[in-house]
């Protein structure tokens, strides 16, 4: 019986059972279906389509992993360059320069300066 809703997902277990049934069906020498949609040839085409789809998923996963690795590498390269550039801007223009503020760092004069707390004499 065909799947009632083709939008529902067929589980991996059911797919494996279907593959096993297909392989067993191929071994039945005198199988001749009444409905040609249920022939061994039709099942073979579906099985080959399944294998091609699985192969495409593997290739897509590998490509996605390679793209993620390339992205990670590019992010680290940019990180290293920017950290080095920030250091050079601080050294070249000074810690209190507008250039330091322009690259997203705080000027030395804008930093919070903690005040010393006064101790209360004769405390409890």
What predicted TM-score, i.e. pTM, was given to this entire model?
Answer: 0.63
Residue found by looking up tokens 């004499």 in the block: 121
Q: Please give the angle made by the CA atoms of 37, 39 and 41, to the nearest 5 degrees.
A: 105
Ordered per-residue pLDDT tens for the chain, 124 residues: 556 787 888 899 999 999 999 999 999 999 999 999 999 999 999 999 999 999 999 999 999 999 999 999 999 999 999 999 999 999 999 999 999 999 999 888 888 777 777 777 665 5
Alpha carbons 91 and 20: distance in angstroms, whole number: 70
Cα–Cα dist 105/107, whole Å: 7
């Amino acid at each position: 019986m065909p799947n009632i809703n083709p939008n529902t997902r067929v589980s991996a277990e059911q797919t494996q059972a279907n593959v096993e049934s297909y392989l067993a069906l191929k071994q039945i020498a005198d199988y001749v279906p009444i409905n040609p949609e249920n022939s061994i040839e039709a099942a073979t085409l579906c099985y080959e389509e399944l294998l091609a789809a699985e192969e495409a998923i593997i290739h897509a996963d590998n490509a996605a992993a390679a793209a993620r690795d390339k992205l990670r590498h590019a992010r680290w390269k940019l990180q290293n360059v920017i950290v080095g550039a920030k250091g050079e801007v601080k050294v070249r223009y000074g810690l209190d320069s507008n250039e330091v503020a322009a690259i997203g760092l705080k000027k030395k004069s804008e930093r919070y300066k903690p005040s010393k707390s006064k101790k209360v004499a004769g405390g409890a």
